[in-house]
Amino acid sequence: MVSRYLIIAAVLAPFAVSAEIYRWVDDSGRVHFSDRRSQDSAKVETVLDQGTNTEKAPPATAEPESPDAQFLGPYSTLDIVAPAANETLTQQDDGLPVSLMVDPPLMEGHQMSILLDQAPLPVANGATQFRLTGAALGSHRLQIRVQGEGGSTVAQSAPRRFHVQKPEEPGQLR
């Protein structure tokens, strides 16, 4: 018995979707809507969205807008933690400490590199803590870039400026 009602409901469901709507304004100026036609009503044209909208959504940005723009791509976080912005570091023989934040961890097929003054330096195994050697005295620009299998940039951090000074000589006063 119940299955008979389900079959009838399934057969009648498309007709319920195509119900007509009527609109009218009463003497007080209020707008009314109904599924029943009255003397002063006008049929309202309705368009049901059934997922057949042919308008395409704008394509997702596949690459950053500029070399300096932060572009997270599939990552929620991609940032340089250390050195801090405009931090002045003292040149050391064992290199300068660099700390990165990448979340989620580097995805399969992606390769991360550090751009030191626009020159790419590969980061082995997606490491987020390492020491940077070979940075000359002066100001530098540091940035993270993640590339996909085809070599296209899939994410990048905003650039970070930092400065390297020579170590102080022993016995100097400040």
Domain region containing 16: 2-44
Domain of residue 98, CATH code: 2.60.40.10
Name the helix (H) or strand (E) containing 23.
strand 21-25
25 and 93 housed in the same domain: no
Give the residue from 120, 171, 117, 109 showing the smallest Cα distance to 139: 117
Query: What integer pLDDT is reported at residue 16 of this predicted model?
Result: 52
27 and 82 housed in the same domain: no
Give the sign of the dihedral formed by CA 138, CA 144, CA 148, CA 149: positive
Average the pLDDT over 119-128 and give the result: 88
Q: Kindly report, residue by residue over 91-108, the tens digit of the pLDDT.
A: 887 888 999 999 999 898
DSSP-derived 3-state class of residue 119:
strand
Q: What is the pTM of this model?
A: 0.58
38 and 107 housed in the same domain: no
DSSP-derived 3-state class of residue 26:
coil
Number of domains in the chain: 2
In the predicted structure, residue 80 carries a pLDDT above the cut 70: yes
Name the pairing type of β-strands 129-132 and 119-122: unpaired
Which whole-number Å values give the CA distances from 23 to 34, 38, 39, 47, 158, in the listed order?
Answer: 7, 9, 11, 16, 55
160 and 91 housed in the same domain: yes
